[in-house]
Amino acid sequence: MKTLSPLFGATIIASTALNAPAFAAQNIYKPFPSDVMPELSENGQYKVGVKTIEATYPDKVTDFLKGKVERSLTLEVWYPTAETTTLATYSDETRSGKTFEIQANAYRDVAIAESETKYPVVVISHGYTGYRTLMHYLGEHLASHGYVVAAIDHTDSTNKEVNFAESPYSGFPSTLLNRSRDQVFTLNTIVEHDFFKTLVDKDNAGVIGYSMGGYGAVSTVGGCYAFNDTTAATFTGTQDPAAVALVKKALNTCAGGKPNAEEVLPSWKAALALAPWGGQHQLYDVESLNSIDVPVLYVAGDNDDISGYQGIRWLFDNTGSKQSKLLTVKNARHNVAPHPAPKEAYESEFDLGSYIEPAWEVQKLNAINEHFALALMNCHVKGLPEYCDFLAVSGSSDQAPVDGQVPAPWKGFDNRWAMGLVMESKQ
């Protein structure tokens, strides 16, 4: 782990955000030596640029309460660059509304690096609630290795929009309806954007989703939703039977709001589902899960009390792609994906509870995610077979002695530093 050193025709507006003074931002990462972190969590060859853009759906979309409405998303986009200026910062707020600013390892609004080889696109999707820079470490990391990475502020589903203390489920119906749609829209937005389109590979892309973002990602690569009357009513707060029928019809789509899984965008080549929600309620049609041919790496804490570990196992067991895998983080709950907590979150359990893992160093979890995300995307999106070897680990990472012999560590992990993980494969 390093420290500091859709739809076509969308309306796009470049951000004019300025860098905040350097002293205002906190560095949330510790200077661990590289030896204790996984090999593929190291920076790539590129410096990283970052740009904030606004993207508006070209047509009005469905809102369960308001009917047809306009929908816009704020995207944070990281990309390779050769330029440097003052390092950028990321500003957001905790669930209780405390604002904070953290130090980026990227340069805002610099030129994208020219390249003879086009950059694949990766879409990052946060949970409920969250914000677009919740996994900025993955955006910066993949961009340094030659990807354009777009992370979404899912409208109606961010910390800024949802009063989680007083009305925690106010944005949940929109989240259920729009997660996969937003992911597909974001990919199409980036490949058509004037700043990126000549240098991005529109035919090869990946998606990363955490919690409700994972709920969307599974659908984006082919899992069709299968809400019944009870689940449609329960998770949207709808009671009238006629309204429930309409809600169920709106929800039960595939691949970004399409009527069937055959309309999965062929661009998607890999998915990383971090603690994905929905499997514990079996909200997907099993036949469609069986038909998924995009490799999915599921990452789950074996004590996940939000998405439910057995629910994530159900998704893995039913995912058809034989190249799919399940990485279990032992003694972890649900917070396997967020960046380390800002100092403002330490003022209450209410805020800290959406960042901290009781038994894990969060920075180590971030590095593990960087390692396997790069292995997954390089193997399946860029088609670099040498990176597939990093995914070919199996069983426990603990190096527990067998017949008096200590096993070698997993590929990419130093001796004695591969602990607490279990990898399972479909094959």
**pLDDT tens readout for residues 89-100:** 999 999 999 999
User: Is the pLDDT higher at 4 or at 162?
Assistant: 162
Lowest-pLDDT range, 13-17, 235-239, 375-379, 385-389?
A: 13-17
Exposed/middle/buried for residue 402 (C-beta within 10 Å: 0-12, 13-18, 19+): exposed
Amino acid found at 126 = H
Report the share of the chain in percent with pLDDT over 90. Answer: 92
Predicted confidence (pLDDT) at residue 16 exceeds the cutoff of 60: no
**CA–CA separation, 234 vs 229, rounded Å?**
8
Predicted confidence (pLDDT) at residue 240 exceeds the cutoff of 50: yes
User: What ranges in 277-355 are assigned the alpha helix state H?
Assistant: 286-290, 309-318, 349-352
pLDDT for position 65: 86
pLDDT for position 2: 53
Q: Are 163 and 171 in contact (CB under 8 A)?
A: no
Q: Indicate the pLDDT class of residue 337, thresholds 50, 70 and 90.
A: very high
For residue 87 the two structure tokens come to 């390092």
pLDDT for position 14: 38
pLDDT for position 15: 38
Neighbours of 425 (CB within 10 A): 14
